């Protein structure tokens, strides 16, 4: 297994879809958040996206389902984006990651799926599908390109060598 840090750059707006009211009673479609108010993309969304990519390139079908995704996205979204409706007569407000925004997400790759294969799958997924909370059938929001995929190297605590010898009980 290999933990990786993924950096993606959005080519098209990635829009929030969770409807809520602002303090001024205006409706805005926002992103899902965790208890620390960080944006989340659910692992099931990534899984669906990667299964699509595996079908397109005809490989790693079973392995993509074994990728473990961290739902937290490491960048704050732009506060508002106006999505026009009815040829510009009306609009809806969304939280958004705008084109050019680079975000990060972490994942753990299963044994048998190397970083290069994983990157190819992500590139296909980002080009043709994208990832966005708001995703109508006839339009593709949240298309992206892969900036980098870096294996995570965790620092382990060094074992202590200066420990005192164990004391005998009762002394």
- For the segment 38-52, what is each residue's pLDDT rounded down to a tens digit? 999 999 999 999 999
* Over residues 116-129, mean pLDDT: 94
Pull the structure tokens for residue 170: 């009762």
**Could you identify the residue written with the tokens 């299963």?**
110
Q: Which pLDDT belongs to residue 126? A: 95
Rounded Cα distance between 106 and 62, Å, is 20
DSSP string covering 5-59, please?
EEEEEESS-EE--EEEE-TTS-EEEE--B-TT--BB--HHHHHHHHHHHHHHHT-
Domains and CATH numbers, the chain: 2-151 (3.30.70)
Rounded Cα distance between 157 and 107, Å, is 23
Q: How confident is the model at residue 82 (pLDDT cuts 50, 70, 90)?
A: low
Rg (CA), the chain: 21
* Over residues 7-36, mean pLDDT: 88
Pull the structure tokens for residue 5: 């840090």
| Cβ contacts of 63 within 8 Å, gap of 6 or more | 110, 112, 113
Q: Among 11-25, 34-48, 75-89, 95-109, where is mean pLDDT lowest?
A: 75-89
Long-range contacts from 32-39, C-beta under 8 angstroms, 24+ separation: 32/133, 34/71, 34/72, 38/72, 38/73, 38/74, 39/72, 39/73, 39/75, 39/76, 39/77
Q: pTM for this one? A: 0.81
- For the segment 85-98, what is each residue's pLDDT rounded down to a tens digit? 666 667 778 888 99
Using alpha carbons, list the distances in angstroms from residue 143 to 14, 35, 101, 133. Answer: 8, 27, 11, 12
- For the segment 155-168, what is each residue's pLDDT rounded down to a tens digit? 776 666 666 555 56
């Amino acid at each position: 297994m290999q933990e990786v840090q993924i950096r993606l750059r959005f080519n098209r707006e990635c829009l929030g879809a969770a409807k809520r009211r602002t303090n001024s009673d205006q409706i805005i479609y926002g992103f899902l958040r965790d208890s620390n108010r960080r944006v989340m993309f659910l692992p099931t969304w990534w899984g669906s996206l990667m299964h699509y990519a595996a079908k397109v390139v005809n490989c790693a079908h079973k392995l993509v389902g074994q990728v473990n995704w961290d739902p937290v996205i490491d960048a704050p979204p732009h506060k508002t984006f106006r999505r026009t409706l009815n040829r510009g007569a009306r609009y809806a407000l969304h939280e958004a990651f705008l084109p050019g925004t680079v975000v990060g997400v972490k994942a753990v790759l299963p044994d048998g799926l190397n970083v290069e294969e994983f990157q190819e799958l992500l590139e296909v997924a980002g080009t043709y599908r994208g990832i966005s909370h708001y995703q109508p059938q006839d339009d593709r929001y949240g298309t992206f390109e892969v900036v980098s995929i870096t294996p995570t190297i965790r620092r382990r605590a060094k074992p202590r060598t200066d420990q005192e010898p164990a004391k005998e009980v009762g002394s």
